[in-house]
Structure 1
Amino acid sequence: MLNMFNPVLRVLRFWRSWISVIAPVVLTAIPLTADPENEKAMWCAYNILVCAVYWICECTPLAITSLLPVVLLPLTGVASTNAVCINYLKGTNMMFLAGLVMAIAVEHCGLHVRIALNIIQGVGTSKRMLMLGFMICAMFLSMWISNTAATAMMVPIVDAIDKAINSDQNGNETDEHKDIETTVKKPRDSKSRNFLLLACAYASNIGGTGVITGSPPNLVVLSTLNKEFGTGKAPLSYATWMAFNVPLMLVNTLAAWCLLIAMEAYATRGSPKPTREGELKVKNILAGKKRELGKMSLHEIQVLILFILLVILWFFQDPVFITGWASFFTKATVGSATPAVLIVWMLFLLPKNVSSTQPSEALLDWHTVEKRLPWGVILLLGGGFALADATASSGLSNYLASKLISLQYLETWQINLIISCATTFVTEMSLSLCQNPIYLMMTAAVCCSYAFMLPVATAPNAIVFSHSTMKTSDMMKAGFLLNIICIITTNFAINTWGVPLFGLSEFPAWAGPSAPSCNITSGLDLSTTIPGAL
């Protein structure tokens, strides 16, 4: 008798999954059969009912279901993304939050470790190539996950490599490295290890500049442009940001590698040279760690697909050089937060494993998000936006502009150089003068990530400093030189390929209403004056 009901029982075990799929489809009958004059209202009713069903049946965690309006309302033409997000967070903050959750999913399934090991093993295991491999890995990961997480993940890998190199002929660890607890409490006194850790921190800081969601200062540029000049008016998008900053990121990472290689060679002069045996040990430890991971699980594959899909959606939302997919939604403006929340919602909906006998956990659970999400960073970003708004509303921005009137006698490239230097060393943004706003804002935002000198400057710096035997002066020496290099490369980039990419050769029409006294000028025409600029 029970066998007769087995198929039914199997179906009932997955009742939440069935409701998750069927309810949104069935409920579309409400708006599709409505009168044209009530269509928008009925789509709103559809959104409410879908959320209600998900809340009641707990198809996804309550907090995640609460984010569904960010997806449904813009796509159904009821309200724009920014209008919806302002009830939670600003649209830019919501995009950042969703990106952080996606990064947590990557960490949760262990995909980042697999990526790291493959990159390091692929680059090479000689002393110099090993450092380059660590830097490429940290740089790439910090583009997508937090700089802190990328650096923290690299530290145990550096330790594993260090153990392999410092083991005896039979592969056993020396007495210095036997006790893991001692290793954690008392960092190894190894100059090469210090430079490897420093390379990871610097590459993580630089990698955060590669994509617009890589670091909070990047989002400030997008948010400010959208607020001051209108959403989508400025030619700054996920795609154009990458087009400008990815080449710059690669150049700066290469420069940092060359600098650290030279400094390490000087610091370790007279020390024994690396042997072939040491390289083989490194290869063995990397191969062993890859074997421990085994084949890619279904969990990792699904997260990887969703991750790639999110990047594609962000990149082609409004890439400028072609018509983006967001332009097809004409009833309401669709912002970057909508595809981000959509992918996050799928993380909590799709099963980790496929089974015909019992339900599976989702790719990500809310408990993991609550535990790992850096809420402080989100609050920090919100606080920064609040202070920016207060600066404008209180008249402080006009006061500072009047005090900086002497800058009008400097040429534009000189002003830009001053701003990049000030931002790098003091981490403060400067007001744009009568030039294309992107010209100065982009430089300032990117330079905020070039904080290489002090352990307290960034979380990656603090992590590697605490796990090393470096002195503060050691980090300052390398960091100061790298600051100078990155200032030069950034100013070169904004004055070369940044010009055609963002239209910096003339004052843009989209910024005209905000600065009506600014006649057409060139960001690079240093002989051009700006009547009435200040």
Structure 2
Amino acid sequence: MSVLPFLKSYWKTLAALLIPIVLLPLVLEPLFGDKIYAARCGYVMIIMGSYWVLELVAIPITGLLPAILFPLLGVQKAEDVCINYFKDSVMLFVGGLLVAMAVEETNLHRRIALRVLLIVGARPYWIMAGFMIVSAGLSMFISNTATTAMILPIAVAVTVELNRHAVTLQQSRSTIEMTPIQHQSSNSVYIEGSEEESKTRPLDQSFPDSSAANIADVIEKAEAQFEDAEINFKSLSPRQQEISKALVLSVAYAASIGGMATLTGTLTNVIFYGQFREQYNNAAAREELTYASFSFFALPTMIICLIVAWCWLTFQFFLFPYLQSRVSEHDPEIDRNMKQMFRRKFSELGPVRFAEMSALALFLTLVVLWFFRAPGFMAGWDTGFRQHFITDATPAVLIGFLLFLWPRQIPVRGTDGKWPKYQAILTWKVIARKFPWDVVLLLGGSLALADGVEKSGLTDVLKGVLLTLSSIPPLGICAILALIVTFCTEFASNSAIATIFIPLVIQLAEGTCVNPLYYMLPVTISCSFAFMFPVATPPNAIVFSSGFLRVIDMVKAGVVLNFVCMGIMIGSLHTFGYWVFHLDQYPEWAPQENCTALQFHN
């Protein structure tokens, strides 16, 4: 019995040591002959997949294994492996992260959120729509985790204010005061109430998909203690409980959905882009997949999913409880007071500052440069430079550089005749404190693994194995892949799932003469459909830490969204995807060997 506590405490260490030992036969040359290096690459791939899924070692650190094992096993030279950790797709993501930090540093996100809330109105379901619009819009260009961390405190403050009025309206019609938000140092969120019914949600998970130095920084920012709220969640009416759940849950869902709309919206999209560029490094492929072409497919898909998500949350948390009780608890007085509070909070921000205008202008400039570099329907601005020398990483790094140069205050003399002290929008101190190097390591590790799979010859082995699926129609394979990936991401890192599955479906597509994007796109987009569990994705974990949700609440809301969004994605693939990427044809930029049928039919 004394062994059990030891195993419980150290099972991760033991598993991390035993997995490579058990798999050692894969590195023995007599067993595999001329396929030995493919087998050794498979050895590394299985180890990394196991470590990622079981989280035996910090997920970003697992991404360093190719730099250690590939040279030791003779798969690749060290210099060939290490170059993968800072390819242009990594720099593309770095530039996007710098812009995200500028938005946060200038407090631009708060002004945008309050402005949208003023527009949509004070009804709870319209407030939810406002938060979803802001969250999805920001997460198109900013990390999903950072978006959730920035918007959740505002959503929770609004939720507490709604609940306060629901509790006190019958006693008093006094003016509302906005509940202040204060950061805590512990990884939990505490809601004031009676001592025995207060809720605390511990959260010590580690996620790589953040825009802060680590998830602890994100959680610390998202967590809030509500002073003098005097609200006990369990004492609220069922309607107020449902409103609270809907508002905080909508922030996470919208952030996950919004991230799938652009190449830089979420790490899985960047992994997809990086592996596509790694596998198909030719001019035709570079013209096929650009920031603009991906957005033409993914943006309409995202908008449809977002609307459906709002409709489903509205039905589950607002309409369905009303249909059950047939009693409306809505009070117009709360709407009026909330509208006044939004106006007051927006006015407290003061006039738009030069730093906010600058951050917004640079942000919009980056989006325009990305979109019109090679839009497809016209010649892009990159045609004015040496052919094929510019990628989407170039404008991203350019704007990131300008953020360290552009002044935070307008360079105009004050009334005292003095010039304002120069300070750039971003400083290195901010970067040193917040920059997510974990994301860089994870992304680099995925590219290194994909490169090793190609160079070792493992791709040919996988292609032969996956040909056994050729009897299944492509549409069936597409649906199966979407289903598997969607539910795998509920239990494992979506970045890890993308890294594992994308190289496999590339080989499957090439072996069956199917456009590789026909399988790569559903795998990539499905990685964003992680709605059911707190551990599925960092946005879910952050909103769960607010204390308003139970796991069963997320499961009931998320399982329906999983299936509905999968259906929407498959429908979009066969409409927008066919139009943008010509998915009904086997492309010229893919290998043509052993591929006689150039078209497939569903």
Q: Report the TM-score when normalising by structure 2.
A: 0.69
1:215 to 266, 284, 288: 266
Query: 3-state DSSP class of the match of 2:245?
Result: helix
Letter in 2 for 1:350: W
Q: 2:354 and 2:248 mapped to 1: Cα distance?
A: 32
Q: 1:305 and 1:347 mapped to 2: Cα distance?
A: 11
**Aligned-pair CA distance for 1:274:** 1.8
The match for 2:34 is none
Kept in 1, the 8 Å contact 2:95–2:396? The answer is: yes
Structure 2 residue 478 is matched with structure 1 residue 422? no
**Aligned-pair CA distance for 1:332:** 6.3
Percent identity over the alignment is 36
**Aligned-pair CA distance for 1:221:** 2.3
2:564 to 482, 485, 491: 485
* CA distance 1:172–1:304, shift in 2 (3 Å): closer
Task: Kindly report which structure 2 residues correspond to 1:120-519, keeping only aligned pairs within 5 A, or say none.
Answer: 120-165=117-162, 166-167=164-165, 168=168, 169-171=173-175, 182-183=190-191, 186=199, 189=233, 190-234=241-285, 235-265=288-318, 266-267=320-321, 269-270=324-325, 273-330=329-386, 333-353=389-409, 354-356=411-413, 357-358=418-419, 359-427=421-489, 428=497, 429=501, 430-432=504-506, 433=509, 434-511=513-590, 514-519=591-596
Q: 2:259 and 2:180 mapped to 1: Cα distance?
A: 35
Letter in 1 for 2:596: N
Kept in 1, the 8 Å contact 2:157–2:180? The answer is: no
Kept in 2, the 8 Å contact 1:238–1:314? The answer is: yes
Give the root-mean-square deviation of aligned CA atoms: 2.4
**Aligned-pair CA distance for 1:178:** 8.9
**Aligned-pair CA distance for 1:199:** 0.9
Letter in 2 for 1:140: G
Q: 1:391 and 1:468 mapped to 2: Cα distance?
A: 44
Kept in 2, the 8 Å contact 1:225–1:231? The answer is: no
Q: 1:520 and 1:292 mapped to 2: Cα distance?
A: 65
Kept in 2, the 8 Å contact 1:95–1:336? The answer is: yes
Kept in 2, the 8 Å contact 1:123–1:130? The answer is: yes
Unaligned stretches of 5+ in structure 2? 1-79, 185-189, 193-197, 201-231, 234-240, 490-496
Letter in 2 for 1:341: V
* CA distance 1:232–1:257, shift in 2 (3 Å): farther
Query: 3-state DSSP class of the match of 1:456?
Result: helix
Q: 2:294 and 2:115 mapped to 1: Cα distance?
A: 27
Kept in 2, the 8 Å contact 1:95–1:337? The answer is: yes
Q: 2:144 and 2:476 mapped to 1: Cα distance?
A: 31
**Aligned-pair CA distance for 1:405:** 2.9
Kept in 1, the 8 Å contact 2:372–2:381? The answer is: yes
Kept in 2, the 8 Å contact 1:158–1:193? The answer is: no
* CA distance 1:178–1:312, shift in 2 (3 Å): closer
Aligned length: 438
Structure 2 residue 110 is matched with structure 1 residue 113? yes
The match for 1:57 is none
Q: 2:256 and 2:527 mapped to 1: Cα distance?
A: 10
* CA distance 1:128–1:469, shift in 2 (3 Å): closer
**Aligned-pair CA distance for 1:101:** 0.5
Letter in 2 for 1:320: G
Letter in 2 for 1:217: T
* CA distance 1:294–1:230, shift in 2 (3 Å): same
Q: 1:331 and 1:409 mapped to 2: Cα distance?
A: 41
The match for 2:208 is none
Q: 2:446 and 2:541 mapped to 1: Cα distance?
A: 22
Kept in 2, the 8 Å contact 1:201–1:461? The answer is: yes
* CA distance 1:443–1:307, shift in 2 (3 Å): same
Kept in 1, the 8 Å contact 2:176–2:337? The answer is: no
Query: 3-state DSSP class of the match of 1:224?
Result: helix
Letter in 1 for 2:384: F
* CA distance 1:275–1:200, shift in 2 (3 Å): same
Q: Report the TM-score when normalising by structure 1.
A: 0.77
* CA distance 1:395–1:362, shift in 2 (3 Å): same
Larger RCO: 1 or 2 (CA < 8 Å, sep 6+): 2
The match for 1:69 is none
Q: 1:521 and 1:158 mapped to 2: Cα distance?
A: 51
Q: 1:218 and 1:409 mapped to 2: Cα distance?
A: 29
Q: 1:137 and 1:179 mapped to 2: Cα distance?
A: 20
Larger deviation, residues 246-255 vs 502-511? 502-511
* CA distance 1:172–1:305, shift in 2 (3 Å): closer
The match for 1:522 is 599
Q: 2:115 and 2:282 mapped to 1: Cα distance?
A: 40
Deviations 1:98-119 (A, max 9, x none): 1100110011101111111112
Q: 1:338 and 1:178 mapped to 2: Cα distance?
A: 42
* CA distance 1:87–1:360, shift in 2 (3 Å): farther
**Aligned-pair CA distance for 1:207:** 0.3
**Aligned-pair CA distance for 1:313:** 0.7
**Aligned-pair CA distance for 1:522:** 2.9
Larger deviation, residues 463-472 vs 206-215? 463-472
**Aligned-pair CA distance for 1:343:** 1.1
Q: 1:289 and 1:232 mapped to 2: Cα distance?
A: 51
Q: 1:318 and 1:101 mapped to 2: Cα distance?
A: 23
Query: 3-state DSSP class of the match of 1:131?
Result: helix
Q: 2:108 and 2:177 mapped to 1: Cα distance?
A: 28
Kept in 2, the 8 Å contact 1:453–1:478? The answer is: yes
Deviations 1:373-398 (A, max 9, x none): 22212211112222222333444444
Larger deviation, residues 382-391 vs 502-511? 382-391
Q: 1:141 and 1:213 mapped to 2: Cα distance?
A: 11
Query: 3-state DSSP class of the match of 2:505?
Result: coil
Q: 1:395 and 1:179 mapped to 2: Cα distance?
A: 55
Q: 2:272 and 2:180 mapped to 1: Cα distance?
A: 49
Deviations 1:499-525 (A, max 9, x none): 1211112111111xx2422234335x1
Letter in 2 for 1:367: K
**Aligned-pair CA distance for 1:404:** 3.0
